[in-house]
Amino acid sequence: MTVMIAASNRDIAAMNILEKIQSRLSFIESGRSFDGFPILRNRNLMIVRTESDSIYTSGLDKVPDVDSIIFASRHSSSSGQSTLTVHTPGNPLIEAKYGGSPESLAISDPNKMKAALITMRSEVLDKNLSYQVSLEATHHGPTEIERPVVFVEIGSGPKQWEDIKAGEIVAKAILQAAQDHSAFRTAVGFGGGHYAPKFTDLVLEGELSIGHIFPKYCIRELSSKVISLAFERTRDQCTLAVIDWKGIRGTDRERLLGILSKLGIETYRI
């Protein structure tokens, strides 16, 4: 089966990353198209460009022979921090401001996320760059694509989006993730901040891979339906919750533990 690398034609960072991917490997036209752009192939890899912004993209799972999808994308933040991030899309709460549907989660692929994260951290350290490398909490669309979806991003503003070195690192991370077949135990993360430093360290240094992450600010409003959905929509039979113990309010933590217990989910505190 094929891994699709998807990139929005409207996204400066995505075009930067895509250019670096195509400088590493030769792709040929497949004879098919999507959004008016030719679909490119290189053995078990596929490049698909979209006219819509990535977070509003739909229909990629209708392309034949696609096992999973990796979006090359920008990350936006008012902080201006130089960041390289990895996450699964999804809208855990009853709003969907940035694509997808409310209380809806994409299918997570924690092992591909881990491969991308490790590669980016290694490259940043090797090149002595000032980029922060991290997992992010589950957020934004698309949520209705019925294939595992990973976002690998450059942030947080135009300067970084056009950075050649950042584009090269993320291109290498995406290719590594696409071709990696490692199988670690998968988990869902609960608690902490949006950039999930404890979960990032755990994935980088340990034998777990983490997909969906729900930060402290959304735990109180997180429905039992969405909590259950997070495990259902994680690749490779996920039955483990990793909990940032001090990163959740006590009452919210007790409610969460009760829901996880009813679902038969094992818990691991950090």
**pLDDT single digits (tens) 19-65:** 999 999 999 999 999 999 999 999 999 999 999 999 999 999 999 99
Question: Does 78 score more than 90 pLDDT?
Answer: no
Q: What is the pLDDT of residue 76?
A: 93
Across 185-239, the runs of DSSP E, i.e. the strands, are 185-190, 208-214
pLDDT confidence tier of residue 176, bands split at 50, 70 and 90: very high
Q: What is the pLDDT of residue 25?
A: 97
| Residue of 50, 44, 41, 46 lying closest to 15 (CA atoms) | 50
Q: What is the pLDDT of residue 79?
A: 87
Q: What is the pLDDT of residue 124?
A: 98
Q: What is the pLDDT of residue 1?
A: 81
Q: What is the pLDDT of residue 203?
A: 98
Cα separation, 233 vs 23, in Å, equals 34
Average pLDDT over all residues of the chain: 97
Cβ pair 55, 100 in contact under 8 A: yes
**pLDDT single digits (tens) 137-148:** 999 999 999 999
Count Cβ atoms within 10 A of the Cβ of residue 40 and give its class: 0-12 exposed, 13-18 middle, 19 or more buried.
buried
The percent of residues in the chain predicted with pLDDT above 90, rounded, is: 98
Cβ pair 122, 169 in contact under 8 A: no
Q: What is the pLDDT of residue 193?
A: 96
**pLDDT single digits (tens) 92-115:** 999 999 999 999 999 999 999 999
Map out the domains of the chain with their CATH numbers: 2-269 (3.40.630.50)
